[in-house]
Chain A
Amino acid sequence: MTTTKKETQVERETATASAVGRVAETVDEHIVEIVSDSGEGAQKAGQTFGTVCAKMGNGVWTVEIIPAEIQPPARSPAGASGIRIRLASNYVTNMGDEADVVVAFNEQVLYSRIANGAYKKGTAVLLEDKWRDDAVPEIREKYAKAVAEFKDNGLIVHELPIEKACLEITPNPRRGKNMFVLGMLCQIYSRDIGKARDEIATTFRRKGDKVIGMNQQLFDAGCRFAEEHIDFCYEVPPQAGQEEQKQRFIVTNGNTAVGLGVMASGMELVSMYPITPATSASHYLADAYHQVGGFVHQAEDEIAAIGFAIGSSYAGKTACTITSGPGLALKTEMVGLAVMAEIPLVIVVVQRGGPSTGLPTKVEQGDLLAALYGEPGDAPKVVIAAATIEECLHFVIMSRRLAEAFRTPVILLTDANLATGVQPFPRPEPTIDWLAPPIDQSEWDENIPPYNWDPETGLSPRPVPGMPGGEYILTGLAHTSESKVAYDSDSNQRGCNMRSRKFAALASTLKPPQVHGDPDGDLLVVGWGSTMGAIEEAIDRAQAQEHKVSSVHLRFLSPMEPGLKEIFRRFRKVMTVEINYSDDPQAPLINDDTRRYAQLAWLLRAHTLMDIDCWSAVFGAPLQPGMIYKVLLKRLTAMNEGVDS
């Protein structure tokens, strides 16, 4: 930290106090966006703003707005890059609906956000105005046209000389405007100025004091600028009780959380091949893993990545491979080998839009069935899905334990929404038993075969190289309990029975999922993965309107949590809400015979033999509570009309 104690004390006063003659309006929550061309630092400014809010006790969710291309052309709608920050006086679980305030570095990038429904009538747009007087006539025209259109659409446009003000401090505002904007936002939201300046020092700690000083200067100027030019000011009070609890929080995105989970699980090896949007988990590990004695192996391809991990697991060091849908497809044969030979292994799949190369940077929940059924033959395994960023961490630890206890690969599904969302959550307090136990090299009783299946549970202890007396030849061919290759009917049937039975044994240890809301009613929404926050917020809104709706969120997809039928029976209708493809029942040619269901709905229909409906979409964007709320109302109306007629 370069700020001295004295300075910090002086500046601990919040921005509100210095906003002379302006009273901050207190709100429960607000959604802020910063949008720009790629490379203008909007994401850094937003992350810093989010951290300051979290440190002040707010519930926070930030999500990056990512263009699909590395270097999209400047001032193009498709090039919109930036960040959304939702800050609130309560715990936040998702990105929310329309933004309240948006800072835009040019007018063109706003078009794609408008097309995505990111704004509403009354959204305040703080727009860089330098384009109004640009030397190029075409830019001037575009700017004027856009501002008029935005105003017509009900946006409140504030044209501001942001760059001009930055030029007074730095000759190159493209690198620094972001901290100026951070200052503006901290002023508007009455943030703790000292905390923000400290955060800037932390962000730029590797760049030296000069850079930190320059950025803090820009930040201060941004504060003053907002005070002079902006006539509104908000206060978002901290979450109740957080101050007293003294609980410590960490702030991460879902991929960093996965990396932390790997470290906390005691797994010593991650073997990966670069793939969007999973790679940043390995970036984090590559930087931090050595602190816990771990190693990231970047393999020559996806197949080698999982093969390397399987080799390590076979040798007694359960390993992890991290990938996305296309990578999982390439790994399929190896996953089947791990199932067949009962090798513990953790496979994290950060889902993106598919099929094929699809939407590499965008969210989808399209790999559920591939995770369950991708391999040839019967290849049962554990498939679980994290619903929150915090679960991304804890579920890796659970995955390692399940993999070893049940001698199986475990697929942990997350997605691009969790991967890029950033949220504060309680700091884990790890204990030694989170780590994998030291490798067992004791003597193996030669009379015990390598697959000494318990006939009831299918479970068996595992010899590990180094154990004298345990020598066996692992094979992906059909085999006996002695691991001898066996092509006879009985051996193959028995092996399949034993490998399947393990998951019935696991299911018998699980509890039924909790229902969010009343345990009975008209409509039950079933979800999985990253949509939990948005679904539950939509359910809460509908319940507040006296609708009898509830939701349930599944973490275990294979095996399924027990008691689903009992839960489902208490509702008149059950439907899933998912981010994957399903046919709209109203679409041409779609009827009961032709309709293709969303992936969880497909599973649940087979699992329960109940007529489970679904709503799903592949917009390449996280589901928002308002969108789900509208779907619920529509389905409820249709149900009631159906009953009436």
Chain B
Amino acid sequence: MFGLKADWSLEVFERYFTLGDYAGGEARWCPGCGDHGVLTAAQRVLRDEQLHPELTVAVSGIGCSSRMPHYLGTYGFHGLHGRALPLACGIKSRRPDLDVWVATGDGDCFSIGTAHWIHALRYNMDMTLMVFDNSIYGLTKAQTSPTSPIGFKTNTHPFGAIIAPLNPLTVTLGITNISFVAQTVDWNPPMLYETLKAAHRHKGTGFVRIIQRCPVYADSLAKELQGDPSRFLLLNHEKGIQIDKSASRQFPNQQEHDPSDLANAFKLAADTSRIPLGLLYWNPDAPCYEDLSSAGVEMTPHARLAGFNAALDRLTI
């Protein structure tokens, strides 16, 4: 953005990006779907951070939420079911200059892509990971998801889901080298925006689980949560997500939580009576894999050739 810097000089960017620069095709999600709000929040972060559309890549798997790249004006990669993270990590591996955003869902990330969820968080590459969790498979029309509550009726479990849901937060907090774990809801736009912005500014994988509405196949789940603020616990801390008045009003249960306290984060995540919102864990110093995987990117062709000749020399008889 335009503005005066501390030394009173005027800062004028050669290019200034507006929301229109981040708009892609018209979003085709159902009316009332929580995905719309996430898209808008992400576009606002892109605009406010003035990220170059050509250096931004939105990567997704398969599912309703994985349509997100199509609605952005950046580069995008709409990949395979469950595989957004390996693709995103590969993009970042030799192109650390690219700003990578990952859109994935509860089925995509916590079920078919489980192995990549675990390992990509361990790699901790610098990217923003948005998990749109609506506790249902929407694109394939109402099958049980790993986060569907027990007893919830779906087409694959018409008499109700038969096993307890996976807790994505405790699993994520158990992964070595995690660096940023946050949870938010789609129906509080300021908190959603602040959470995505914090995840993006964090160097490392910014994991954000977004509890989100599916008005078509899981309407009752979100309605129940929206109607009962006592189910939530808003986490407060100077190092945490900035909380505006709307969030404070909406979520009266609040607790001070230092995001560097992993043990307390576990406790909060494991307590299923209260759904924590905010930053559960933050470690700004966790090593990022792209700092290793991009070694040698700057090497000149002549240096590469010399290196290859040296390798050949060792095998020459």
Interface residues of chain A, those whose CB is within 8 Å of chain B, are: 51, 54-55, 248-252, 256, 260, 263-264, 266, 268-269, 271, 288, 290-295, 297, 299-301, 303-305, 307-317, 319, 333-334, 337, 424, 427-428, 430-432, 435, 438, 465-477, 484-485
Contact = CB atoms under 8 A, between A and B. Distances in A.
Tell me whether chain A's interface is mostly helix, strand or loop, or mixed: mixed
B231 interface: no
A435 B301 contact: yes
A441 to B, nearest CB: 9
Contacts of A54: 317
B312 interface: yes
B305 A337 contact: no
A268 B296 contact: yes
A315 B127 CA distance: 15
Contacts of B274: none
Given A51-B317, A251-B317, A435-B301, A297 B293 contact: yes
A300 B77 CA distance: 21
Contact of A307 (B55, B90, B296): B90
Interface string B292-303: 111111110111
Interface size class of chain B, counting residues whose CB lies under 8 Å from the partner chain:
35 or more
Given A304-B119, A312-B91, 5 more contacts: A293-B303, A304-B115, A311-B88, A315-B57, A424-B317
Given A292-B311, A293-B296, A293-B297, A466 B55 contact: yes
Contacts of B76: 471-474
Interface in B3-51: 24-25
Interface stretch (B78-86, B153-161, B177-185, B221-229): B78-86
A471 B74 CA distance: 5
A316 B311 CA distance: 26
B94 A317 contact: yes
Contacts of B98: 315, 465-466
B53 A471 contact: yes
B307 interface: yes
B87 interface: yes
B202 interface: no
Interface of B: 24-25, 52-55, 57-59, 69-70, 72-80, 83, 85-95, 97-98, 115-116, 118-119, 292-299, 301-305, 307-312, 315-317
Given A307-B83, A466-B54, A290 B315 contact: no
A337 B317 contact: no
A473 B295 contact: no
B284 to A, nearest CB: 24
Question: Which of the listed residues B86, B296, B298 has the most CB atoms from chain A within 10 Å of its own CB?
Answer: B86
A250 B317 contact: yes
A474 B77 contact: yes
Nearest to A308: B90
Contacts of A471: 53-54, 73-76
A293 B298 CA distance: 8
Contact of A314 (B24, B77, B309): B77
A292 B308 contact: yes
A314 B87 contact: yes
Contact of A295 (B88, B93, B119): B93
A640 B87 CA distance: 59
Contacts, number: 194
Q: Which 5 pairs from chain A and chain B are nearest by CB?
A: A311-B90, A293-B296, A307-B86, A293-B299, A473-B76
A427 B310 CA distance: 12
Given A293-B299, A295-B292, A473-B69, A288 B115 contact: no
Contacts of B115: 300-301, 304
Given A309-B90, A317-B95, A291 B310 contact: yes
B317 A249 contact: yes
A292 to B, nearest CB: 4
A334 B315 contact: no
A424 B317 CA distance: 8
Nearest to B94: A317
A634 to B, nearest CB: 41
Given A307-B83, A473-B70, A315 B312 contact: no
A471 B54 CA distance: 6
B93 A438 contact: no
B22 to A, nearest CB: 10
Contacts of A271: 90
A130 to B, nearest CB: 35
B91 A465 contact: yes
6 contacts: A304-B119, A308-B93, A311-B77, A312-B90, A334-B83, A438-B301
A427 B91 contact: no
B311 A260 contact: yes
B176 to A, nearest CB: 13
